[in-house]
Structure 1
Amino acid sequence: MKIAALQSTLFWQDRDANLAYFSDLIKNIGAADVVVLPEMFTTGFSMAPEHIAEPADGPTLHWLRDMAQQHHIAICGSVAVQENNKYFNRFYWVSPEGESHYDKHHLFRMAGEHKHYAAGMERKIVEYQGVRICLQVCYDLRFPVYCRNRNDYDLLIFVANWPEARRHAWSSLLTARAIENQSYVIGVNRVGEDGNGIHYSGDSVILDYLGQPVAHAAANTPAILSAEISLADLQAFRETFPAHLDADGFELK
């Protein structure tokens, strides 16, 4: 599976400008099976959902469908969505074969996200080209129990607006999630400054199941990370080092 992860700047609360920007980028990424965009890629990490949120079947979802069909890719990233009188930070997954979504479960209280958005309550695994993929958003990275591999995924994706001030935690936790879950991990973060004056350094990365980088973006600059992941290599490693067989059982409440 060929991955293209887009570390990018974002136009603050300007959906049309962001969609035009990503449309141009996607035209030039070359061969890819999966394209990963940052968290809230149409607006930046905004706590004004009453101004920026789209309906569940809104224009960004239609754009994702168009991109998937035109370029024969699966494409994913999160968007502010309004549904049933609630707002969600919704991670869309769209491919030519169909679509799914995951609503961010852990809301970043230090920015007041829990006051503006509702938490999703369903963990989401999608399957594409035989690869099982777990969808997660930004702050979810800090909660290893929630994203723990229960032998139900092969690739873990985090999309984020993770500030530069905590970049060490971002990189360290991504590595830990790859090692402990014996899984490929993609972490896609934005760069630049948002409308609140918060700076983002990116540090996007694609890691293998040993926590080693397969591709890594330079800090503070837009970049397209390209890498190929191998399900056969992952399965071979799990067979020779089956640590998952000694994992502790648990259930989420």
Structure 2
Amino acid sequence: MKIALYQMHVIPGKPEENMRKISQWFDQLSEEIDIAVLPEMWNTSYRLSDLNQLADEEGNVIIPFLKKKAKALNKHIIAGSIAYKKGDEIYNRALVINKEGNCINTYDKAHLVPMLNEHHFLTSGEKKSTVYQLDEIEMGTIICYDLRFPELSRSLALEDAKVIFVPAQWPKSRIDHWKALLRARAIENQVYMIACNSVGYCDESEFGGNSLVYGPDGSLIDNLYYDEGTLIVDLDFDAQEQIREAIPIFNSLRTDLY
């Protein structure tokens, strides 16, 4: 399975311009790509105080756009997350669109960042992230700050997720945490951690790039640095199964103790 990640400079507060950038990126992808991955809040970036005006009302603009692109390109899209408005509430919502043009999974970010006062502008998701299938492979999605809460990734692994996607706008100042936490989640769950971060600025916040993929043994498969660009990786699920057989951690879980 071949996957492309867009390490994107999201233009703050400009949803239409960001959609044009993404549309151009999709159109440049090789036919060999199976899954295209976008970062967090790619329609608005972190213009939180403006989200009432900027957020996509019930996904009425972005979801049809993604469905059309996925079907036309015959690619699955892990559509990062968007600022999604429903009534008076605004969510940081992850979207998964399959290559048939169907939205097969959504997830609203459960853990809101207190350092950014996200809880003043966004509504926390009330349902956990769930596993979905693309090309008969079980996968899951968490969003940025969720990475700091290992229980969420473990819950997906216990549902037999082989891959966990992490769209993010992770700050450059804490990029060491980003890499350490992603590697830990990969090792402890024996999953591929596929992390798509942003670059550039939103007001005073600088995002740290370093989009990367860790294998189920914690090995770094490939990564980008601090510039906008595309990362392409191949996933080997036979090798993953060998890792799980060699160190069968899930057979050793003590659910009677924790």
Instruction: Determine if contact 1:126/1:132 at 8 Å carries over to the other structure.
Output: yes
- Structure 2 distance, partners of 1:156, 1:69, is 23
How many residue pairs match? The answer is 249
Deviation at 1:85, TM superposition (A): 2.8
- Structure 2 distance, partners of 1:25, 1:102, is 24
- Corresponding residue for residue 62 of structure 1: 64
Deviation at 1:84, TM superposition (A): 4.0
Deviation at 1:41, TM superposition (A): 0.7
Instruction: Determine if contact 1:39/1:77 at 8 Å carries over to the other structure.
Output: yes
- Corresponding residue for residue 120 of structure 1: 125
- Corresponding residue for residue 221 of structure 1: 227
State the identity %: 27
With the length of structure 2 as denominator, give the TM-score of the two structures. Answer: 0.92
Which has the larger displacement, 132-141 or 50-59? 50-59
Residue deviations 1:45-95, cap 9 Å, x none?
A: 231321211122411111111110111111121001112431110001111
- Structure 2 distance, partners of 1:201, 1:187, is 12
Deviation at 1:188, TM superposition (A): 0.6
Structure 1 stretches of 4+ with a deviation exceeding 6 A read none
Instruction: Determine if contact 2:59/2:85 at 8 Å carries over to the other structure.
Output: no
Instruction: Determine if contact 1:124/1:134 at 8 Å carries over to the other structure.
Output: yes
Amino acid at match of 2:43: T
Matches within 5 A, 1:30-45: 30=30, 31-45=32-46
Of 165, 175, 193, 1:157 maps to: 165
- Structure 2 distance, partners of 1:11, 1:248, is 47
- Structure 2 distance, partners of 1:151, 1:235, is 15
* Consecutive unaligned residues in structure 2, runs of 5 or more: none
1:135 aligns with 2:138: no
Residue deviations 1:89-147, cap 9 Å, x none?
A: 00011113421211100011110111211111222211101111111000000000122
Instruction: Determine if contact 2:73/2:99 at 8 Å carries over to the other structure.
Output: no
Instruction: Determine if contact 1:107/1:114 at 8 Å carries over to the other structure.
Output: yes
Of 185, 188, 195, 1:187 maps to: 195
> SS at the partner of 1:146?
helix
Amino acid at match of 1:159: P
Amino acid at match of 1:45: Y
Of 235, 246, 252, 1:240 maps to: 246
Deviation at 1:29, TM superposition (A): 2.2
Which has the larger displacement, 66-75 or 53-62? 53-62
Of 171, 176, 179, 2:179 maps to: 171
Instruction: Determine if contact 2:165/2:195 at 8 Å carries over to the other structure.
Output: yes
> SS at the partner of 2:210?
coil
Of 113, 116, 119, 1:111 maps to: 116
Deviation at 1:16, TM superposition (A): 0.9
RMSD: 1.5
> SS at the partner of 2:158?
coil
